[in-house]
Amino acid sequence: MDPRVERAQQLFWEVEALRRKGVYPAALPRLLEMARLHEERACELLQAGDPDGWTDLFAAVTAWGEARRRDEANRLLTRGHEFVVVPGAKQAAIETELRRLEAWLDALPSAPTAAVPDAANALVEPVRE
Amino acid sequence: MAEVIALDVEEFPQAHPALNGPLLLEHARVALAAYHASPAAFQIHRGDGPALAAAVNFTAPHLLSAGTLEREGFVEIGAIVLAGLLLAHFEGKQITRVVRRGARVDYFVGERPGDFRWILEVSGTDAESFAARRREKRQQLSESIYHLPPYSRDGFVSVTRFAPVAAAALDSVRGVR
């Protein structure tokens, strides 16, 4: 198995544990590592025409966003839009998802400042079903 | 007399090597121990078929564990563990990947690590309506980007209610082609 998937999975659960405790500073380096791993894999797969790369691209944009690196998230979203125009790609569903992610980024609380466990500083809670 | 299915929470890490199983175990124990002593009696639902009886074995959680998080957190993770036990028991499958997509969390299922051919929607509750939650989650799965082309992945919906009458469901849903 791709070791990046394994590592990203390990980071996912570590970040989740920190999210439940509302600890942003400790999660930040993990989010950044996760974003880079997902982005690398996403670009590799999408360049090879493998649609599974979208899973990593969505995850990378999410991690950049949660790390409050909006510029990185935007850069990757732009890259995503470029991948969508590849012939054969199912444009509509992917474009819709990229727009949803953009809206999600827009709605994120402003950049956290220090280790203050307030709402703006906490990791964003996912939709809990 | 109908056979009682034996499920063991402690077997979750071996059945799902791609996940951080030991990290999730204690959550499941706490979720169960709020209402049950081991083995916990569960009704198991698969699609529209008749309910099956199951005995869910688990080790008692540490006395202090329940106070470390809000109850919701234990129920959510506990539901993932129960879903994993049902997937392994009935389908011979494992949860192979969990990733975030904006506000959503996507679960992937396969027959071995690195296999992401199916998707999974999971939900847990203490005492809310089990049937309504199953319907909601099926709907949610049907709207998943991975359920639609170009992926068209088949999937599973798993819902667990921990309060008596405790119940867990594993439903199959075919991808849109």
Structure tokens given for B22: 């030991």
Q: Does A5 touch chain B (CB under 8 A)?
A: yes
Distance in angstroms (rounded) separating the CA atoms of residues B139 and B67: 34
pLDDT of residue A111: 58
DSSP state of B11: G
Q: Provide the 10 A C-beta neighbour count for residue A102.
A: 18
Contact B133, B171 (CB under 8 A): no
Pairing of strands B4-8, B52-57: parallel
DSSP state of B68: S
pLDDT of residue A80: 94
pLDDT band for position A19 (cuts 50, 70, 90): confident
Helix ranges (DSSP H) in A22-69: 24-47, 53-66
Name residues whose C-beta falls within 8 Å of residue A18's C-beta, 6 or more positions apart in sequence. A24, A26, A27, A30, A123
Q: What average pLDDT does the structure give for chain A?
A: 84
Q: Do A93 and B20 touch (CB under 8 A)?
A: no
Distance in angstroms (rounded) separating the CA atoms of residues B102 and A73: 11
Which residues on chain B are in Cβ contact (under 8 Å) with A94?
Answer: 145
Q: Which domain holds residue B17?
A: 4-173
Q: Does A78 touch chain B (CB under 8 A)?
A: no
- Does residue A64 sit in helix, strand or coil? helix
Radius of gyration over every alpha carbon of chain A, rounded to an integer in angstroms: 15
Pairing of strands B118-125, B155-161: parallel
pLDDT of residue B5: 96
Q: Do A51 and B150 touch (CB under 8 A)?
A: yes
pLDDT of residue B1: 54
Total count of domains within chain B: 1
What is the torsional sign of CA A114, A32, A102, A5?
negative
Give the Å distances, CA to CA, from B128 to B35, B137, B138. 14, 14, 17
- Its pTM stands at 0.88
pLDDT of residue A88: 54
B63-122 pLDDT, tens digit each:
999 988 889 989 999 999 999 999 999 999 999 999 999 999 999 999 999 999 999 999
φ, ψ for residue B139, nearest 5 deg: -60, -45
Which residues on chain B are in Cβ contact (under 8 Å) with A59?
Answer: 99-101
Q: Does A100 touch chain B (CB under 8 A)?
A: yes
Q: Does A13 touch chain B (CB under 8 A)?
A: yes
Q: Provide the 10 A C-beta neighbour count for residue A78.
A: 10
A60-104 pLDDT, tens digit each:
999 999 999 999 999 999 999 998 875 554 578 888 899 999 999
Q: Does A104 touch chain B (CB under 8 A)?
A: yes
